[in-house]
Amino acid sequence: MSGEVVLRDMLNRAARRLPTWVIYVLGALPGPWAFYQGLTGGLGVEPISALEHALGLYALQFLIAGLAISPLRRFAGINLIRFRRALGLLAFYYVTLHLLVWLLLDVQVLARVWADIIKRPYISIGMVAFLLLLPLALTSNSLSIRKLGPRWRSLHRAVYVAVLLASVHFVMVRKGLQLEPLIYLGLVGVLLLLRLAPRRRVRVA
């Protein structure tokens, strides 16, 4: 048995033993910590802007982690499928916090919110991504899966568009084509393209 197979089987056994609530708890902790840093001066001279950025980045990272689960299973035989719901809900948790910080702490004035959504393309794109994720979060439960049947899978394919829009939003927020958002956009592009690649048969332990 090769080292690659041994490592893969070890990862799959560890994943089977890990309770999903651990992912929820550990995944949710950076949010309160970011707020604490903002309140105590740990986010620099522009804490609201830094808090928005941190929460939005966490959301994008969890979206990408969820997007990576299928390619990992298809091409490496690493089965983390049981954590996909948790990753998706954590992504929505951070998207919601990101939006609330923008609404309540940054903009504050309702009339200006609508003006910014219409006027600024990067905000428009971010709002579309949020609206796409909203029904996915609301139907990420066993009852919805049973009720919607095959339509549930079709509905949840909207996550591909949402994560692409979220990464474009990140590029546009960080003006001047900075390297970090381009790396995230490139990673999203690669993960989406991998879904079109021919299937490789890998035994999943």
Query: Is 17 within the bounds of a domain?
Result: yes
Residue-level pLDDT at 81: 92
pLDDT digits (tens, 9 = 90+) for 108-142: 777 788 888 888 899 999 999 999 999 999 999 88
Query: Which residues, in sequence order, are CB contacts of 189 under 8 Å at separation 6+?
Result: 164
123: containing domain = 3-194
Query: Is 201 within the bounds of a domain?
Result: no
Query: Is 204 within the bounds of a domain?
Result: no
Cα distance between the two ends of the chain: 13
Instruction: Label residue 199 by pLDDT band (50, 70, 90).
Output: low
The tokens describing 148, both together, are: 């919607």
Residue-level pLDDT at 2: 66
* Number of structural domains in the chain: 1
CB 191 within 8 A of CB 171: no
| Furthest-apart CA atoms within the chain: distance in Å | 64
Query: Is 203 within the bounds of a domain?
Result: no
CB 60 within 8 A of CB 68: no
pLDDT digits (tens, 9 = 90+) for 7-35: 888 888 888 999 999 999 999 999 999 99
The tokens describing 182, both together, are: 């381009």
Mean pLDDT (the chain) is 89
Query: Is 202 within the bounds of a domain?
Result: no
**For residues 183-195, average pLDDT:** 93
Query: Which residues, in sequence order, are CB contacts of 71 under 8 Å at separation 6+?
Result: 191, 194, 195
The tokens describing 133, both together, are: 């994720």
Cβ-based burial of 175 (10 A; exposed 0-12, middle 13-18, buried ≥19): exposed
Query: Is 145 within the bounds of a domain?
Result: yes
Residue-level pLDDT at 90: 97
Of 22 and 145, the one with more pLDDT = 22
Cβ-based burial of 34 (10 A; exposed 0-12, middle 13-18, buried ≥19): buried
Task: Give the closest residue to 56 by CA, choosing from 108, 123, 109.
Answer: 123
Q: What percent of the chain has pLDDT over 70?
A: 94
Of 148 and 83, the one with more pLDDT = 83
**For residues 180-188, average pLDDT:** 95
Query: Is 174 within the bounds of a domain?
Result: yes
Predicted TM-score (pTM) of the model is 0.90
Query: Is 199 within the bounds of a domain?
Result: no
